[in-house]
């Protein structure tokens, strides 16, 4: 039985670390949302609620949280992948093609046609030996015509990373802070579910927690130390969620820039590359609220 909903991002970028810390802040919610019922218990629980019998722990609510957390995990993994993919494509454009938009489009056209075939009749020329009717000796016909290269342009190639009106899934700019607000609040206030508070809630009084000394002895942790630790964690969690929201905000601004930028002006691609680099490095000082 699967006991985990939230899938950590397998990457070593600051953005991946930020998203993984955010996912880690939802671990308690994950524990209470992960299904552990048998099929019989699941069927009966849904049937009882369908008849209007509301239990203390609603399986309908649990199912909604499970679905939402699954979507959230998929979304953050996809968003990180699109930010990284767009940044790598732009880095290739500047390093291998020197920022030459036509050179990139021409090379992309040749690579695409050679790999997938297709195109129009004038995209191919027969230059080698062999039977042309049998598909032998054909090569991509070179062209520097901007009209014929338009569909292979850098802007068109970047489209797979950015949100559109009909996209299915999470892309740069698809979702904003309001879409994650419920879970962001849970991450920010995760110390509300600290062990100290939960034990106090169950027992009605503060129960001692212990730590091991250098001598190997167990000693009670002073409550003031636990409270100070929780305060420090609260500050760190607020900082975490502020950076998280700033990243989403930057992504939405970046998606708008992508849609509205002049497609033949290399300065816009420089700006895209800079902003994507800031997102990957979580340098959010340029974006509100920083």
Q: What is the mean pLDDT of each run of 10 residues along the chain (290 residues)?
A: 79 95 90 88 93 88 94 96 97 94 88 68 64 60 76 93 84 95 89 50 52 66 52 69 93 94 94 94 67
3-state secondary structure of 50: helix
- How high is the pLDDT of residue 106? 85
- How high is the pLDDT of residue 202? 43
Instruction: List, in sequence order, the alpha helices (H) in 25-136.
Output: 27-33, 39-50, 59-96, 101-116
Question: What crossing angle do the helices spanning 14-24 and 223-260 adopt, rounded to 10°?
Answer: 130
The Cα-based distances of 26 to 7, 43, 72 in angstroms read 11, 27, 11
Prediction pTM value? 0.81
- How high is the pLDDT of residue 289? 45
- How high is the pLDDT of residue 32? 82
The Cα-based distances of 58 to 54, 55, 228 in angstroms read 7, 6, 35
Farthest-apart Cα atoms in the chain, separation: 89
By CB atoms closer than 10 A (0-12, 13-18, 19+), residue 156 is middle
The Cα-based distances of 145 to 31, 123, 124, 142 in angstroms read 58, 12, 15, 9
Question: What crossing angle do the helices spanning 177-188 and 59-96 adopt, rounded to 10°?
Answer: 110
Q: Say how far apart CA 42 and CA 265 lie, in whole Å.
A: 57
Using only C-alpha atoms, the chain has a radius of gyration, in whole angstroms, of: 27
- Residue spans of the domains in the chain: they are 14-281
Residues 86/172, Cβ–Cβ less than 8 Å: yes
Tokens at 174, concatenated:
């698809």
The residue count of the chain comes to 290
- How high is the pLDDT of residue 147? 80
- Within 10 angstroms of residue 1's Cβ, the number of other Cβ atoms is 7
Beta carbons within 8 Å of 268's beta carbon, 6+ residues apart: 257, 261, 262
């Amino acid at each position: 039985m699967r006991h985990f909903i939230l899938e950590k991002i397998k990457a070593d970028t600051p953005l991946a670390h930020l998203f993984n810390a955010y996912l880690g802040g939802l671990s308690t919610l994950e524990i209470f949302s992960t299904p552990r019922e048998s099929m019989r218990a699941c069927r009966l629980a849904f049937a009882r609620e369908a008849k209007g019998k509301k239990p203390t722990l609603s399986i309908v609510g649990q199912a909604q949280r499970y679905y939402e957390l699954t979507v959230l995990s998929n979304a953050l993994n996809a968003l990180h992948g699109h930010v990284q993919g767009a940044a790598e494509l732009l880095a290739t454009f500047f390093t291998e093609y020197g920022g030459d938009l036509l050179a990139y489009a021409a090379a992309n056209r040749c690579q695409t046609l050679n790999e997938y075939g297709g195109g129009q009749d004038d995209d191919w020329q027969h230059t080698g030996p062999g039977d042309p009717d049998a598909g032998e000796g054909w090569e991509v016909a070179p062209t520097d015509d901007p009209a014929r290269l338009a569909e292979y342009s850098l802007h068109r190639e970047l489209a797979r990373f950015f949100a559109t009106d009909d996209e299915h899934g999470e892309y740069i700019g698809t979702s904003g802070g309001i879409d994650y607000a419920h879970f962001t609040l849970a991450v920010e206030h995760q110390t509300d579910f600290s062990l100290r508070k939960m034990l106090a809630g169950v027992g009605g009084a503060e129960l001692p927690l212990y730590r091991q000394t250098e001598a190997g002895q167990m000693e009670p942790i002073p409550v003031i130390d636990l409270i100070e630790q929780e305060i420090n964690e609260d500050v760190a969690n607020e900082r975490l969620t502020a950076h998280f929201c700033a990243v989403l905000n930057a992504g939405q601004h970046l998606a708008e820039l992508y849609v509205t930028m002049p497609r033949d002006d290399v300065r816009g691609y420089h700006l895209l590359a800079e902003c994507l680099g800031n997102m990957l490095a979580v340098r959010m000082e340029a974006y509100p609220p920083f």
